[in-house]
Amino acid sequence: MVDLRTTLCGIELDNPVIPASGTFGYGREFAELYDINMLGTFSFKGTTKEPRFGNPTPRIAESASGMLNAVGLQNPGVDKVISEELPSMAKFFRKPVMANVSGFSVEDYVYTCERLDKEPQVGWLEVNISCPNVHGGGMSFGTDPGAAAEVTRAVKKVTTKPVIVKLTPNVTDIVSVAGACEEAGADGISLINTLLGMRIDLRSRRPLLANTTGGLSGPAVFPVALRMVWQVSKAVGIPVVGMGGVSSAKDVIEMMMAGACAVEVGAANLTDPLACKKIIEALPSEAEKLGIASLKEIIGAAH
């Protein structure tokens, strides 16, 4: 029997599989298809201080081995998440959940994190300084080590729960950003968010997305994500959550060997709503084939 358990910032998970923010909503629709309590946990829809409608349409474009999205953090705002979504979620998900937080200023991050930190269902705060699809915030914090550290330090002052900082791959040196977050007090790092890309409509000769650019996700980005997880996990002493193009149990094992203690699954949920269920069910047999008795043993094995 393979031991699938892992630990993320002091909280034990039954397995390392976590649906990524923005691909799983608040879990409600997926809970109608299977018992989502089989997941390690899930990262719910990115939350901002104020409600956001998001970017104009079209927001999605297909690409070989992946997709581009420019949704733009559509969400009802932190007050409604606390008053409506979390109580609803507690009815069908009994484990601690990961709250994904975005902002357009340090003050935004502080306000939203401080509010969510008080909620009993929230186990971790995933602070997203990496969204490429909003203007005047998001990724701008994640491309500069100083700005990343500033957000991390400010959030840590008002929270008691583990803070996991989500990084963008759209930088020259992701290790320096991760190191700055660790030094500022981050309890963990998650990476990667999407790679900035675009498509052009050949008939109109204009960008296909209304936002012009969007974030590339899916199997196409997996090798890039794996490389960055390997680099960051070697450089920091805090837990790393790996993501980016993960779509199979083998991908999860590879991410863990690169240094991830837990693995988020994103775009795969959009093409197959049972993706995470299938990955968890396949993990024991894939591990047995490789002679793995416990997933904890393989974390960072590629180092």
Query: Rounded mean pLDDT of 263-273?
Result: 97
Instruction: Check 131, 181, 261, 276 and give the catalytic one.
Output: 131
Q: What is the structure's pLDDT at 125?
A: 98
Q: Is the pLDDT of residue 245 over 80?
A: yes
Please report the pLDDT score of residue 72 as a whole number.
86
Residue 131's pLDDT is 58
Q: How many percent of the chain have pLDDT more than 70?
A: 97
Q: Residue 73: what pLDDT?
A: 86
Q: Which strands make up the sheet holding 66-69, listed edge to edge?
A: 60-63, 66-69, 214-217, 195-197
Please name each of the domains of the chain with its CATH number: 6-54+74-196+218-298 (3.20.20.70)
Mean pLDDT, to the nearest integer, of 43-49?
Answer: 96
Residue 131 bears catalytic tag: yes
Task: Evaluate if residue 135 carries a pLDDT over 80.
Answer: no
Q: What are 72-100's pLDDT values in tens digits? A: 889 999 999 999 999 999 999 999 999 99
- Which strand (E) or helix (H) includes residue 227? helix 222-235
Rg (CA), the chain: 18
Instruction: Let me know: does 159 contact 117? Beta carbons within 8 Å.
Output: yes
Is this model's pTM higher than 0.85 or not? yes
Per-residue model confidence as pLDDT tens digits over 154-192: 999 999 999 999 999 999 999 999 999 999 999 999 999
Cα 241 to chain center, whole Å?
8
Which pLDDT does position 139 carry in this prediction?
52
* Alpha helix ranges (H) inside 236-274: 249-258, 268-271
